[in-house]
Amino acid sequence: MIEAPARRRATASMEQEVYRHVPYDIEVEQALLGAILVDNSALERVSSVLKSEHFYDPLHQRIYEVMQGQLDRCGMVITPLTLNAAMKADPGLVEVGGHAYLAGLAAAAPAMPNVRDYARILQELAIRRGLIHVGEDIVNAAYEAPHDKSPQTQIEDAEKALYRLSDTARYGEGPLDFAESLRRTLESAERAQARGGRISGVASGFSDLDSLLGGLQPSDLIIVAGRPGMGKTSLATNMAFHAARAYVQDMEAGAEQSRGAPVLLFSLEMAAQQLSARILSEQTEIEMWKIRNGKFAESEWEKFVLTMQELSTLPLYIDDTGGISIAQIAARARRMRREKKIGLVVIDHIQLVAPSRRTENRVQEITEISKGLKVLAKDLDVPVIALSQLSRSVDSRDDKRPVLSDLRESGSIEQDADVVMFVYREEYYLKSREPEPGTPDHGKWLEKMERAHRRAELLVEKHRHGATNKVELFFDDRYTRFSNLANESV
């Protein structure tokens, strides 16, 4: 019987597996432990990035744990003698010679070791071993999956496992010397000066808001909240579109630094096609009902097609996966940051993001999500705009302008956010409270409607890095478009 090519390849692959070794380096482990025994300050230099599980040898794991725990935290000097005394009951150490083994580590330690490099090597090897385990789990799960578990669920489980592994790989660089902090601040100020007084962050497209915030700042979590009907999605979409368009315009003009950035927009409520239609409606000034029903005049159709062709090159990426988890958002955003250089992430909206695990406490779930988004903003060093709903209690007040306390029941959103802004349109509420025509109250109502017509307020109630204020905008509900009030005739 002749083996099929596929079977021969599988057999060859299994034979290769026999000769592949798990990635580790015992000599580096020994050199690092020896360096700590010779110079205890080496432990301080690596403890922020190195954990015991990064060692491959179980004995080396235990030695490092004792160094960190029983000796370092108790203020004892770490020597082969004190370490042996603390571990004299450890059978693994006894087996390799006890004190003699520890003394050998110290004696063989390099003369001028770069222990942080050793720590990084061990950390990276541990991550590679973790990748192998995740890969094995993925393969086994694919072979042995129950019939009621869909492939999509398996993919999501794999993404979560990789996200958790990625999480363990981040320990930061530890405390910064103040001189280094000042140097980085100077570099940031020099970049701002090079812009000729322009904003330092990504332009939102709204001049008064950009003046207040300095643009959408890297590593900031920006919450845009409001009741249904206020225009949260429209506002965020307008910001995303402006950032993407400004990026293209500046790149075409040969600008060294762009006001905009490529954008990744997670639309959990609307399909990508619906969002695209909104943007086209705004840019062409063709009302949405015409786009939905195909009721175009000939001139409108030509304008629609030309605008679509112009906008097709914008670096605006829409992910409309429903029920996506914070782990999936983070994984996809990291990939897009690497591949497409995205400089702005938008999530519409927080309440539709799935937690990593379901609990009976929704507040805890929202807290996990908001903290995850803040971590994502810091890790990618980009602004993250997250939309949030508000409870119905806002509508029960006479003054329906939202305040920070309206977010208190939404997990730790207020605490995690760097900026919190509320979208408010008085006209929306006035329309539903029209008095009887001909009455004195109706005349007052008409005056209020005239003042509120097509006006929106952006209430910046929290700004971690500066002042808060109210920004007035123009809102055209025909095209779901926000714009600068000074540029419009109301």
Beta bridge partners of residue 120, listed in sequence order:
none
Please determine, for residue 4, whether its predicted confidence score (pLDDT) is greater than 50: no
Least confident range from 72-81, 171-180, 231-240: namely 171-180
Whole-angstrom Cα distance, residue 351 to residue 365? Answer: 9
Would you state the pLDDT for residue 34?
92
Q: Is residue 439 one of the residues assigned to a domain?
A: yes
- Domain CATH code at residue 210: 3.40.50.300
Domain stops at, among 144, 166, 181: 144
**Which of 143-152, 225-234, 280-289, 290-299 tops mean pLDDT?**
225-234
Please determine, for residue 8, whether its predicted confidence score (pLDDT) is greater than 70: no
Would you state the pLDDT for residue 69?
79
Please choose, from the candidates 73, 71, 75, the residue with its C-alpha nearest in 3D space to the C-alpha of residue 85: 71
- Rounded mean pLDDT, 203-231: 90
Same domain? 220 vs 116: no
Would you state the pLDDT for residue 133?
92
Q: Per the structure block, which two tokens stand in for 61?
A: 């794991």
Q: Is residue 75 one of the residues assigned to a domain?
A: yes
Report pLDDT digits (tens) over 12-27: 444 455 457 899 999 9
Same domain? 112 vs 245: no
Q: Per the structure block, which two tokens stand in for 146?
A: 């129950």
Whole-angstrom Cα distance, residue 304 to residue 275? Answer: 15
Q: Per the structure block, which two tokens stand in for 283?
A: 């840019």
* 381: number of Cβ within 10 Å: 10
Same domain? 122 vs 269: no
Same domain? 209 vs 104: no
Label residue 485 by pLDDT band (50, 70, 90).
Answer: confident
Would you state the pLDDT for residue 129?
94
Q: Is residue 183 one of the residues assigned to a domain?
A: no
Same domain? 252 vs 329: yes
Provide the percentage of residues in the chain whose pLDDT is more than 70.
88
Task: Classify burial at 444, counting beta carbons within 10 Å of its beta carbon; exposed 0-12, middle 13-18, buried 19 or more.
Answer: exposed
Label residue 262 by pLDDT band (50, 70, 90).
Answer: very high
* Contacts of 37 by beta carbon, 8 Å cutoff, 6+ apart: 78, 79, 80, 83, 102, 105, 106, 109
Would you state the pLDDT for residue 162?
81
Provide the percentage of residues in the chain whose pLDDT is more than 90.
22
Would you state the pLDDT for residue 420?
94
Report pLDDT digits (tens) over 436-479: 777 777 777 777 777 778 888 899 999 998 898 999 898 888 87
* 389: number of Cβ within 10 Å: 15
Q: Per the structure block, which two tokens stand in for 418?
A: 């760097």
Would you state the pLDDT for residue 111?
76
Q: Is residue 6 one of the residues assigned to a domain?
A: no
- Rounded mean pLDDT, 224-251: 89
State the amino acid at position 141 in one-letter form. Answer: A
Domain membership of residue 316 as a residue range: 199-487
Label residue 11 by pLDDT band (50, 70, 90).
Answer: very low
Same domain? 428 vs 364: yes
Report pLDDT digits (tens) over 348-379: 888 888 876 666 677 888 888 888 899 899 98
Please determine, for residue 10, whether its predicted confidence score (pLDDT) is greater than 60: no
What secondary structure, in 3-state letters, does the chain show? Answer: CCCCHHHHHHHHHHHHHHHCCCCCCHHHHHHHHHHHHHCCHHHHHHCCCCCHHHCCCHHHHHHHHHHHHHHHCCCCCCCHHHHHHHCCCCHHHHHHCCHHHHHHHHHCCCCCCCHHHHHHHHHHHHHHHHHHHHHHHHHHHHHHCCCCCCHHHHHHHHHHHHHHHHHHCCCCCCCCCHHHHHHHHHHHHHHHHHCCCCCCCECCCCHHHHHHHCCECCCCEEEEEECCCCCHHHHHHHHHHHHHHHHHHHHHCCCCCCCCCCEEEEECCCCHHHHHHHHHHHHHCCCHHHHHHCCCCHHHHHHHHHHHHHHCCCCEEEECCCCCEHHHHHHHHHHHHHHHCCCEEEEECHHHCECCCCCCCHHHHHHHHHHHHHHHHHHHCCCEEEEEECCHHHHHCCCCCCCHHHHCCCCCHHHHCCEEEEEECHHHHHHCCCCCCCCHHHHHHHHHHHHHCCEEEEEEEEECCCCCEEEEEEEECCCCEEEEHHHCCC
In the sheet that holds 316-319, the strands lie side by side as 316-319, 263-267, 344-348, 384-389, 221-226, 419-424, 455-463, 469-476, 481-484
Q: Is residue 76 one of the residues assigned to a domain?
A: yes
Mean of all residue pLDDT scores within the chain: 82
Same domain? 394 vs 328: yes
- Domain CATH code at residue 52: 1.10.860.10
Please determine, for residue 240, whether its predicted confidence score (pLDDT) is greater than 80: yes
Q: Is residue 150 one of the residues assigned to a domain?
A: no
Domain stops at, among 144, 164, 191: 144
Same domain? 216 vs 130: no
Least confident range from 224-238, 399-413, 455-469: namely 399-413
Would you state the pLDDT for residue 363?
80
Q: Is residue 181 one of the residues assigned to a domain?
A: no
- Looking at the 3D structure of the chain, how many domains does it have? 2
Same domain? 132 vs 216: no
Domain stops at, among 129, 144, 159: 144
Same domain? 134 vs 265: no
N residues, the chain: 490
Same domain? 362 vs 441: yes
Report pLDDT digits (tens) over 110-158: 877 788 889 999 999 999 999 999 999 999 988 888 877 888 778 878 8
Q: Is residue 32 one of the residues assigned to a domain?
A: yes
Same domain? 326 vs 449: yes
